[in-house]
Amino acid sequence: MTPNKKAARLGTGAASNTTSSPHSTTTTGGGGVDALLSRLEGVKRTGPDSWMARCPAHEDRSASLSIRALDDGRVLVHCFAGCSAHEVVGAVGMELSDLMPPRAPTHGQPFKPERRRFPAADALRGIALEGLVIAHAGVSLLDGLPFTDADRERLITAVARVQSALTASGVHHG
């Protein structure tokens, strides 16, 4: 599905799947967390300012997109399947600038972006289903059941999502 068709299809119907934010972070460009959440499917609140949803940038059957609103109005998005933030917002007809508050000019100070990791709980929620998929594959192999091409592809996707969650969480593994 093309990004424009996806955004058009989501329209106002997706708003019923969202949980409203306790504070509006809408920017002058018509963005912010409320605008993003209203365009996503399968939105579930995971904390005071965080949500999980199905990623609009790929065919997502389970929630792999983590969304977090920061106190300063910025909105962070991370797809545990590997979609870039640009792909995610583009798929719903938004720009990355829609996830940022208007920037106040600073005199003589260079801009230094804040780097925060996603909470471990978000990463664990993002990979819980993938662990079940991997476990089911192991049981099937032990039982001697044949794998279809779709089974193999799903197992590879599950492993990639687990690796992505580890990386996003800042966990170094060897």
- Say yes or no to pLDDT of 28 above 60: no
The model's pTM? 0.50
What DSSP letter does each residue of 75-112 carry, written as one string?
A: EEEEETT---HHHHHHHTT--GGGGSPPPPP-SS----
92-122 pLDDT, tens digit each: 999 888 888 876 666 666 666 655 666 667 7
Do 71 and 143 have their domain in common? no
Which residues form the domain of 137?
120-168
Check pLDDT > 90 for residue 43: yes
Report the SS3 class of residue 117.
coil
One domain for residues 91 and 125: no
Please name every residue paired with 45 in a beta bridge, in sequence order, or none if there are none: 51
DSSP state of 81: T
Per the DSSP assignment, residues forming a β-bridge with 95 are none
Q: Are residues 70 and 134 located together in one domain of the fold? A: no
DSSP helix/strand/coil, 113: coil
Measured CA to CA, the distance from residue 81 to residue 64 in angstroms comes to 6
pLDDT tens for each residue of 112-171: 665 566 666 777 777 888 888 999 999 999 999 998 999 999 999 999 888 887 777 777
Number of domains in the chain: 2
Choosing from 99, 128, 154, the residue where a domain stops is 99
For 50-107, write each residue's pLDDT tens digit. 999 999 999 988 899 999 999 888 999 999 999 999 899 999 999 888 888 876 666 6
Do the domain assignments include residue 13? yes
